[in-house]
Structure 1
Amino acid sequence: MTPTPAPRIRPRRLRETPALRRLVSETRLDPADLVLPMFVREGASAPVPIGSMPGVVQHTLDSLPQAVADAAAAGVGGVMLFGVPEVRDARGSGATDPNGILNVATRVAVEASAGSLVVQTDLCLDEFTDHGHCGVLDAHGRVDNDATLERYTSMALEQARAGSQVLGLSGMMDGQVAAVREALDASGHEHTAILAYSAKYASAFYGPFREAVESTLEGDRRTYQLDPGNRREGLREAMIDIDEGADIVMVKPAGSYLDVLADVAAASEVPVWAYQVSGEYAMIEAAAAHGWIDRKRAVIESVRGIRRAGADAVLTYWAVELAEWIRKGDAA
């Protein structure tokens, strides 16, 4: 019997040792590529734990500075702020109040960061409206796209005045990037960047986030967020936002939409980010708490997969913890 010839090509050679695997790694993680989403609750006297997101809290204005400083010390690239107001109304008035929780928190975070990371803000009305939708409603109870754009431009100006460097347009209204860019430029805020949540899908994975912002939404957002079955539409939305002047485009959620993320990354001339959303976080934490998966490995693998698909930066609730693992060399 003729012996089987030894293989000439042996890809395993490059997997022999941790040092060699690290040297040939195609996708590296860096703390600067991570953005930490943070919630700030108006009127809270102490940080409030979020039950469905173990380890994540609603910060107070007093606890926020140390949390921002901790993120900066870990080397995290930025923080994304969400406000949780005490009072809401149909127009989301708190979003454009200079003394509203998000604008006050922005000023606090900017001071605490001392320029060591990028302070970013969520630009959407859902946290501020009593009906929980991302825009104002018309007489028939539908989200009025063009009336909402007027609210977004006002919101953008207040956030820019508060010191936000990047405005995260997450409402999925048609024309939102163009409207906000025009308003910023006309008011002397031409250096404020726009992060467009371009491919934001009507996902089941937002559930814990709605607890975090105490959402009052009844119904759903399918008339403005993307259908989960649509791949081409995600790319189309990103290209429209780039044409309208977006400085960065986003795919959200990340884990279930890696194909869309890869499409956008391949076509985009601007940075592409992805949001590892609350449900993705909660699933890993729950499985790890039951001992079903290795928590650290699952966290690292999930974020690395998002980066591998093409994300230049990842919004993740593990940003600080993951950054510390990376800095210690524990994220290989």
Structure 2
Amino acid sequence: MTDVAAIRAAARRARGIRRTPLLEAPGLDRLAGRRVLVKAECLQVTGSFKARGAWAAISALSETDRRRGVLAYSSGNHAQGIAWAAAAHGAPAVIVMPSDAPAVKIDGTKAYGADVVLYDRGRDDRDALGAGLAAERGLTLVPPFDHAQVIAGQGTVGLEIARQAAEAGVARADVLVCCGGGGLSAGVALALEADAPGLRVRTAEPAGFDDMARSLAEGERLSNAATTGSICDAILTPRPGALTFPVLQRLAGPGLAVSDAEAMAAVAVAFRHLHIVLEPGGAVALAAALFRRDAIAGDAVICVASGGNVATETFARAISENMP
């Protein structure tokens, strides 16, 4: 299992990973009805927090395993993180991606030098396909969230939030985290438990794909009824991870869910007030701060803006539909 020692070790190995800012804007505070601090992981190398977990996992491999290569499955952000980290370590990378992933993410993954294998998200078993390719080609499988080193790498976001929140004078607040399988949420929760116990993680998900929120409420891992159907492609997963769920069951507050329309509105709000570009899946935590105000306590809230790899037409629509 991942612990804070593993997260600190991942931080020490994290060459090339950016310390992203914690952003604020008075206009954003007025909209949310409280102080809002946004951890801008959209400014991370490869455009999302996934570079952290990818680097942590690949840097922990033996030289022999790195020479053989790695395999990952992802709708785009983990794909690009693995492709980037693998190239930096001189390791071949094969990425299994859904055929309906945004072209910007498929193209970005290929640009880092990875071999991309496409699959049908609604018909094919992604995990089985990835495991089969890994066995066939002798590759080390690095899954997107249910992996101790990946969780440790994502946990470095929490180490930074703990320091930055203290510098900003925030000792107690909910930390809203965009959640798919829970790697980022679990890593951040473990880091905050050690370094900022007054900050509590709460997951944010798309409505209809809120398996983590439902699982936390019921006390067991539940699956989503569908695997497609939301614009928040970056965080559509079948169910919570076996490693991540127990961490969040112990440390996280109740989960939150927002509609696709609310996520798109948050994309526009982030652009207008913080001058950053988010993808819908990377904006659900901010959307929860804006549209689930009554479910959040306290004078301040911290939101992780987890990614900014958005298709041009999606971003343009978010802006045109939500800004005067």
Q: TM-score, normalised to structure 1's length?
A: 0.33
Q: TM-score, normalised to structure 2's length?
A: 0.34
Question: Computing the radius of gyration over CA atoms, which structure comes out larger, 1 or 2?
Answer: 1
Higher helix share goes to which structure?
2
